[in-house]
Amino acid sequence: MQDKVVVVVGATGGIGSALTHKLAQEGASLVLAARNSSRLAVLVSELPITQAEQVLSVPTDITNPAQVETLMSKAISQFGKIDVLVNAAGAAVMKQYNKIEPADLDAMLDLNLKGSFYTAQAAAEVMKEKKAGHICNIVGILGKHSMVMASAYCASKFGVVGFSKCMAEELKRYGIKFTLFYFGGVDSPFWDSANLKVDRSKMLTPETAANAILFALKADPQAVPMEINIQPESHLFF
Ligand SMILES: NC(=O)c1ccc[n+]([C@@H]2O[C@H](COP(=O)([O-])OP(=O)(O)OC[C@H]3O[C@@H](n4cnc5c(N)ncnc54)[C@H](OP(=O)(O)O)[C@@H]3O)[C@@H](O)[C@H]2O)c1
For position 195, what pLDDT does the model report? 79
Please state the domain count of the chain: 1
- Please name the helix (run of DSSP H) or strand (run of DSSP E) that holds residue 88, with its range, or none: none
CA dist 167 → 63, 122, 179, 214, 222 (Å): 19, 12, 11, 22, 19
**CATH number for 148:** 3.40.50.720
Is 146 within the bounds of a domain? yes
Distance 8 CA to ligand 1 centre (A): 11
* CA nearest ligand 1 atom 8, residue: 140
Task: Check residue 122 and give its pLDDT.
Answer: 98
Residue 74 lies inside a defined structural domain of this protein? yes
pLDDT at 230 (0 to 100): 98
189 found inside a domain: yes
Q: What angle do CA 62, 64, 69 make, to 5 degrees?
A: 80
Segment 134-160 mean pLDDT: 98
Q: How many CA atoms, within 13 angstroms, populate the side-chain half-sphere of residue 175?
A: 12
Tens digit of pLDDT for each residue in 176-220? Answer: 999 999 999 999 999 998 878 899 999 999 999 999 999 999 999
pTM (whole model) above 0.95: yes
What count of residues does the chain have? 238
Asked which of 30-44, 100-114, 145-159, 185-199 is least confident by mean pLDDT, the reply is 185-199
**Residue 236 located in a structural domain:** no
Residue 223 placed within a domain: yes
Strands 84-87 and 176-183, bridge-based pairing: unpaired
Residue 195 falls within a domain, yes or no? yes
Whether the per-residue pLDDT at 154 is higher than 90: the answer is yes
* The pLDDT of residue 50 is above 90: no
For residue 22, the CA-to-ligand 1 centroid distance in Å is: 18
Mean pLDDT (the chain) is 97
The one-letter amino acid at 44: V
- Answer yes or no: is 175 within a domain: yes
The C-alpha angle with vertex 4 and arms to 165 and 143, in degrees rounded to 5, equals 25
Q: Is residue 156 part of a domain?
A: yes
Q: Which domain holds residue 118?
A: 5-230
- Residues whose beta carbon lies within 6 Å of some atom of ligand 1: 10-16, 34-36, 39, 60-63, 88-91, 111, 115, 138, 140, 183, 185-186, 188-190
Task: Give the HSE-up count for residue 24: Cα atoms under 13 Å, Cβ half-sphere.
Answer: 24
pLDDT digits over 84-128, tens only? 999 999 999 999 999 999 999 999 999 999 999 999 999 999 999
**Nearest CA owner, ligand 1 atom 36:** 10
